[in-house]
Structure 1
Amino acid sequence: MSLEQQLNERLQTLEPSYLEIVNESSGHGGYFPGKESHFKVVIVSECFAGLRLVQRHQKVYAAVGELLGAGNIHALAIHAFIADEWKNQDTSSPECAHAPKTS
């Protein structure tokens, strides 16, 4: 099972009403086809109600567990919302300074 599939499976435990997982590995240095190292997660769940941003991230990290670390996911951008907050949010990612150069 791919890292993306495992990430999806684990984040389902947070009962999201919306979940988007984007493999952003191709925009980072050392990329090769099939590499899974950098992901962005946009997750909307009522389990985040009343939690500060850091607490929301801690919930995501707890769900993801050992998928983060050496040989697995190197970077995880987290955008965690409750339904009322999610509207019109910019979840775009900045370019990586070490991104492969295109000519």
Structure 2
Amino acid sequence: MGVRARIETALTEALKPERLEVIDESHLHAGHAGARPEGETHFRVRIVSGAFSGLSRVDRHRRVNQLLAGELSGPVHALAIDARSPEEPGRP
């Protein structure tokens, strides 16, 4: 299973999102620090989940980072997060 699939599985199992996008942006960072030729180092996550209701933006990011700690300590060099609750305007 690739890094993207592991991220999707971890977030889906823990947060039961209404919407989830995991975008591999590694190609945009070729030649930069942390980039590997095979990719899967830089990701963007857009997620809408009821699990984020009542949480601050910082707490949402902390939750995602905790769930992906294994990936972040290994193959993932950078992770951009847009985490929202279903009732928020401007949902991703």
Q: Which TM bucket (shorter chain)?
A: 0.7 to 0.9
Distance 2:8 2:71 in 1: 11
Any gaps of 5 or more consecutive residues in structure 1? 90-103
| Structure 2: runs of 5+ lacking an equivalent | none
Deviation of 1:65 (Å): 1.9
Q: Which residue is 1:98 aligned to?
A: none
1:76 aligns with 2:79: yes
Which residue matches 2:11?
11
Q: Is the radius of gyration larger for structure 1 or structure 2?
A: 1
- The one-letter code of the counterpart of 1:55 is D
Please identify, of 80-89 and 3-12, the stretch whose mean Cα deviation from structure 2 is larger. Answer: 80-89
Question: Following TM superposition, by how much is the alpha carbon of 1:84 offset from its aligned partner in structure 2, in angstroms?
Answer: 2.0
Task: Return the alpha-carbon distance in structure 2 between the equivalents of residues 86 and 33 of structure 1.
Answer: 38
Render the CA deviation track for 1:28-65: whole Å, top value 9, x for unaligned.
03266641100000000011111111100011011112
Q: Any idea what SS the aligned residue of 2:54 has?
A: coil
Runs of 4 or more above 4 Å deviation: none
Q: Secondary structure at the match of 1:47?
A: helix
- Which digits, 9 at most, give the CA deviation of each residue in 1:64-84, with x for residues without a partner? 1210024x1000000000112
Counting aligned pairs with the same residue, the percent is 38
Cα gap change, 1:48 to 1:69, in 2 (>3 Å): same
Deviation of 1:88 (Å):
5.9
User: Residue in 1 aligned with 2:66?
Assistant: 62
CA distance in 2, matches of 1:32, 1:58: 26
Q: Tell me the C-alpha RMSD between the 2 structures.
A: 1.8
| Structure 2 residue identity aligned to 1:54 | V
